[in-house]
Structure 1
């Protein structure tokens, strides 16, 4: 059932984005009286799952879910219809239209992607508002358990002051933007310290077995038992807080995780607090060095402590907040691409394909998460399509801008060759991204 929910969200989101992206090309093409021969969700290589001709256009669904397309008459695209291009230009063809009209048609897809993401963020702020954990509430700092992070100089208890000179209010923003940071200022025991990250840090983090960064710290408050727990009959209840184990004070759950492996197969005395009173109980450590007891989640703890901020916005306020969120996400993704296309950072190792996108979706249906992910994917689709690769919208836009500046239109043969080169380059990028998914699935 979880698979069905995840794949359902994955297909719905991508189909929604693909159809709207292609509609962004279709609409201005029709407005400029340019004939659109096909409008397809997914690719119809050899055959289509469904197709119907309405007017001059065949609408359909292909069987190969790698994207979608509109086939515009008189345009050199992935169809490579060179026979039609050999004929005399017709007034309804793309190539017969002024350069400025062709530019609008080619920019229509990414324009819709960006507009959609902007509207989704505004809508989310109006409907759901914002719920977040403030960085200012991290009085005990963050947990740093990743050996690579410790090697960089971070320690549990560090508080994040700024990254690359920018102060972040929300914990989620710190997590998201840390992967782009070059320099982090932390507060440790009242003193500030600057940690410079090496250029290849992101690549090393991608390769690491533990990819955690700044994790929330919370006490060990008993929530439930593992099915194989040796402590099911122990004198402990849900809500009890463990404050010491074997005489060693315990303030955070992370300390339990670090301590129990040292006492495999042993029975230890634990001090717990129940209803404000302390008591001592015996707890068993299994051969794997675990108690088999789940702690109350960090989110539950922070919520009970009143440390989660919730904000509601009017429609007018949502426009401002949603617009800021859109701009921030755009900048964040551009920053990622800069890292990816700088080989020395090693960020290309983290590039993912369809499985990586599938993994983003939760295994339970949540409309707020769905729209948040869809908005981000819309930005990603728009930005990637702007890359100056001939097979993408950005490639066509590059040639059109050249034509508008120089007054010289690239020849059809040149455009055909460029389209072939761009197609193979695009296939190479798709294979690389999905190859990374396969590599991580097998070896990570």
Structure 2
């Protein structure tokens, strides 16, 4: 099975879970307040459906268009004329519009509430099952290694990060996120204390890339993790766990230094010195035009004998507050990202994507841990988006009901319907724009 197909299946499965839970939230709240639900569908069903069955008053089904789902609640959208008929109907107590404002608010909020609960539930069970592994910042003893982005914002290989936003970050895992959210970095560069500002121009470097990935990592010794088959390294007898000490007469302490020297000696023969189980071994190798030796080096996660990690285990009840904190952290990141989208100079808008971009976040091989983590993250994202006070989204209906609760007067249903139509057109236009932009970004 191709990696594209695996990612697509994971995305479809994840979206199906999110849609079912969201619509189940509306459905359960409607049932609690004795409101009739006419239809409950996974995916949309214009013209025809893949499956449908009526049970009681509700038709349950699966549509063919995998862009969401819906529940149709009796009396939710009725004009003034409909309300006059309703008052004469003996079953009016089944209708949405016959319920008090607070009950209608809870029914509309049901999808958002259930998406938040799903996210908390997933993070809670992940923490309970796997715990958390952290690398304390104090244990990053060789400083950091940076990529081209790290260099653009002013960092250098070997820098030791002391503070972000003038606060000490206890765990290295949290430093990249703190930098993205922060305004300054304080570093120790060979004994000199330097404070780097993070203005919008530097934030632009962070967001102006195809993928938001780590731009710093702990600096590590150049120890071979894997030798590529049929490479120069394999031909000359390099082995896993060999530590590279020097190229020619230039000593090497860290992986970034090795990369620089390999690039320096392109199209040349070099003498590479190796530490193999305490013995000095030397190999004469010719490097090609790209300076490729044919090895993968160990990452800091592979070197637990050098870096002391902290592993935290939680009981089920301990994992609940930590799961809630995870949800809150994800939500804060989303709010921060949205804020930067409207600052054009940061180019954060380039990170906006549709299903194509989301699919790329799933791994090419099925991994349940990553799948559930992404599903929990998307669940909070869906809840957050639905809070937007735009008619046709849950937030739009919530806004109308809140206005009614404050003023004590119902908004004319024709106005609500008209706003809903306009809101739907606006949302459709935005979705089409994002899909076209994503196609351009991903494929072109």
Do the aligned residues in 1 keep the contact of 2:140 with 2:307 (CA within 8 Å)?
no
- In 2, the alpha carbon distance for the partners of 1:3 and 1:270 equals 40
Of 124-133 and 162-171, more deviation after overlay is shown by: 162-171
Shift, 1:157, TM fit: 1.6
SS in 2 for 1:47: coil
Do the aligned residues in 2 keep the contact of 1:164 with 1:181 (CA within 8 Å)?
yes
SS in 2 for 1:91: helix
SS in 2 for 1:115: helix
CA deviations over 1:156-191 (Å, ceiling 9, x no partner): 122223333443333332223432222222232344
SS in 1 for 2:280: strand
Residue of structure 2 aligned with 1:129, choices 128, 131, 135: 131
Residue 118 of structure 1 corresponds to which residue in structure 2? 120
- In 2, the alpha carbon distance for the partners of 1:181 and 1:433 equals 28
- In 1, the alpha carbon distance for the partners of 2:440 and 2:230 equals 33
Q: What is the TM-score when the length of structure 2 is the normalising length?
A: 0.91
Residue 89 of structure 2 corresponds to which residue in structure 1? none
SS in 1 for 2:421: helix
SS in 1 for 2:234: coil
Q: What is the TM-score when the length of structure 1 is the normalising length?
A: 0.91
Aligned residues between the structures: 437
Residue 328 of structure 1 corresponds to which residue in structure 2? 329
Residue 262 of structure 1 corresponds to which residue in structure 2? 264
- In 1, the alpha carbon distance for the partners of 2:168 and 2:428 equals 40
Residue 232 of structure 2 corresponds to which residue in structure 1? 230
- Note if 1:249 corresponds to 2:251: yes
SS in 2 for 1:283: strand
Shift, 1:239, TM fit: 1.3
Residue 105 of structure 1 corresponds to which residue in structure 2? 107
Aligned pairs for 1:27-426 within 5 A: 27-76=28-77, 85=82, 88-89=85-86, 90-146=92-148, 148-208=149-209, 213-301=215-303, 303-305=304-306, 307-426=308-427
Identify if the C-alpha distance between structure 1 residues 202 and 88 changes in structure 2 by more than 3 Å, giving closer, same or farther: farther
- In 1, the alpha carbon distance for the partners of 2:363 and 2:159 equals 30
CA deviations over 1:203-231 (Å, ceiling 9, x no partner): 43333479652123222222333345233
| Contiguous gaps of at least 5 residues in structure 1 | none
SS in 2 for 1:26: helix
- In 2, the alpha carbon distance for the partners of 1:83 and 1:44 equals 28
SS in 2 for 1:352: coil
SS in 1 for 2:293: coil
SS in 2 for 1:143: strand
- In 2, the alpha carbon distance for the partners of 1:35 and 1:331 equals 36
- In 2, the alpha carbon distance for the partners of 1:174 and 1:187 equals 15
- In 1, the alpha carbon distance for the partners of 2:82 and 2:202 equals 49
Identify if the C-alpha distance between structure 1 residues 355 and 245 changes in structure 2 by more than 3 Å, giving closer, same or farther: same
